[in-house]
Amino acid sequence: MGGLASCAGKEFSKDPALPNIIFITVDNLGIGDLSSYGNETVKTPNIDRIGKEGAQFTSSYVVSSSCAPSRATYVTGQYPHTHGVDALPHIALTKFLNPFKTTMLDLFKDKGYNTAVEGKWHISPFMPASWYGYCEWCSGIFAEEHVIKDSKKTIDFLKRNKDNRFFFQINYKNSHSDRFGEYVQNPEFPVKPEDVKIPEYMDIPDWPEIKEDVANYFSQNMGMEKMIGDVLKALDELGLSENTLVMFTSDNGPHYPGMISTLYDRGIAVPLMVRWSGKIKDGQKIDHFINSVDIMPTLLEAAGIPIPKNVQGKSFLKMMTGENPAPIREEIITELTTHVEHIPCRSIRTREYKYIKNYSDNATGLDMNNHDDWAHKLCELPGQPWKKPRPEEELFYLEKDPHEKINLTGDPAYAEMLKEARERLTKWQVETRDNYYGRPFLKEYKVEDYAL
């Protein structure tokens, strides 16, 4: 059951029929920031290994391109308007996850697993992790201690629990800028700005100041990548690799303009890889749609844990094992309410189109880049409207417009597509009791809020 139960004195399962679970999440890492996803600047062999020895997904999306809402979905299997974390709880203090809500960790703990988390803790930053089903908290209490800087505590947990069944959630924050919105080079993994090739998915120019910032971002990613390699090496050395399911993903796209805090693909498309020796055939590249709401039921099924009826995602385990390789969904639905700005919106993405319903004209701002002159200069370019009021509706024909630039809502040639998109999104809103269904479009934009 969910709640505040303690793990003190608990004997953990040693059942060899149960797999260990390592769930690795990273902060603000986009779909094109790994070499296995086409990045031409950095090499990420350790992370890529997870996909090479298992399944790599090429159409994986988060339910919300905002950290806390996305992360609360991991542990509840629900959309943000259902689990209630639809803002950043360190800013909107009432938006933390209800500790009496049953989480994935509660269920694994009840199954006999030692449940632990290390790194970023964002779904309820002022509450103990133990209230949410974690038996061990492997980081300090201060925010700066939530950045994993080496693998000592990670490997110590693995050694101590070599004979136990465990669920270990490792949340790397290295790919997030610092509190001043800056990236700095990791001296052990330098990246020269002149060597940077801006990934196409980012849709930003290769100005020298942007390349310098992205070089620092890539440098931090490579340091994180090395620590993930430490984890995989420790699993090998401890004889745990054969019976450990390893899942790797990101909570949203990078913090650059038009990515995080938007429902465009460059904000919601993320890497996803899963390895489970002997169960998941290696070398798979799967293009079926996956939404992050599907992660919890997938991990529960792998451990033979019944999936609660209030979970809104679908397990994709059988897709990876080959028992049922068919797609589990035909569309991706995402949502935002508040990130830093109040920017309520919902979207539906099919293979053919993306439709976004905005509930406020409040602009998508520049977030952590607001202090950068280049970011404000960027907004003056066509197709970079991040300080301008948003329209009520947006429709993009993805085959011809993959960067989602041309809004077709006023084009009669796409009237039927628009009608279908509205109906499909409405159906989901009604079925999931979305609290924004039927709300009016608000005029909240104030130009002075986005001035230099």
The per-type count for the chain, helices as H runs and strands as E runs, is 11, 14
172 band by pLDDT with thresholds 50, 70 and 90: very high
Question: What is the tens place of the pLDDT at every residue in 117-127?
Answer: 998 887 887 78
C-alpha dihedral (131, 123, 222, 379), degrees to nearest 10: -170
Structure-block tokens of residue 321:
């094992």
Other Cβ atoms closer than 10 A to 181: 16
Is residue 140's pLDDT more than 80?
A: no
Q: State the pTM of this model.
A: 0.95
The predicted pLDDT at position 8 comes to 67
Domains of the chain: 20-321 (3.40.720.10), 332-450 (3.30.1120.10)
* In contact, 452 and 376? CB cutoff 8 Å: yes
**Distance of CA 18 to CAs 11, 32, 66, 243, Å?**
15, 34, 33, 8
More confident residue, 449 or 160: 160
C-alpha dihedral (425, 428, 430, 435), degrees to nearest 10: -80
* In contact, 29 and 258? CB cutoff 8 Å: no
Dist. CA 274–CA 245, nearest whole Å: 7
* In contact, 391 and 407? CB cutoff 8 Å: yes
Is residue 268's pLDDT more than 50?
A: yes
Other Cβ atoms closer than 10 A to 307: 17
More confident residue, 40 or 181: 40
* In contact, 233 and 45? CB cutoff 8 Å: no
Structure-block tokens of residue 406:
């041309």
The predicted pLDDT at position 141 comes to 63
Structure-block tokens of residue 187:
């001296």
Sequence-ordered list of residues with C-beta below 8 angstroms from that of 17, at least 6 positions apart, any chain: none
| Percent of the chain scoring above 90 in pLDDT | 83
Question: What is the tens place of the pLDDT at every residue in 31-69?
Answer: 999 999 999 999 999 999 999 999 999 999 999 999 899
More confident residue, 4 or 374: 374
2 band by pLDDT with thresholds 50, 70 and 90: very low
What mean pLDDT is predicted for residues 414-438?
Answer: 98
More confident residue, 230 or 174: 230
Dist. CA 204–CA 390, nearest whole Å: 19
Is residue 89's pLDDT more than 80?
A: no
Is residue 166's pLDDT more than 60?
A: yes
**Distance of CA 383 to CAs 205, 318, 395, Å?**
12, 40, 14
User: Is residue 176 left, alpha or beta, with left meaning phi > 0 and alpha meaning psi from -120 to 50?
Assistant: beta
User: Is residue 171 left, alpha or beta, with left meaning phi > 0 and alpha meaning psi from -120 to 50?
Assistant: beta
* In contact, 247 and 22? CB cutoff 8 Å: yes
143 band by pLDDT with thresholds 50, 70 and 90: low
What mean pLDDT is predicted for residues 202-217?
Answer: 96
What mean pLDDT is predicted for residues 116-142?
Answer: 84
E-strand stretches of 267-421? 272-275, 284-286, 290-291, 332-338, 342-349, 353-358, 393-397
DSSP, res 360: B
Question: What is the tens place of the pLDDT at every residue in 69-86?
Answer: 999 999 999 999 999 998
Is residue 175's pLDDT more than 80?
A: yes
Compute the half-sphere exposure of residue 413: CA atoms within 13 Å on the CB side of its CA. 4
Is residue 449's pLDDT more than 90?
A: no
Q: What letters, b where the CB count within 10 A reaches 16 and e where it falls short, cover 2-24?
A: beeeeeeeeebeeeeebbbbbbb
* In contact, 357 and 377? CB cutoff 8 Å: no
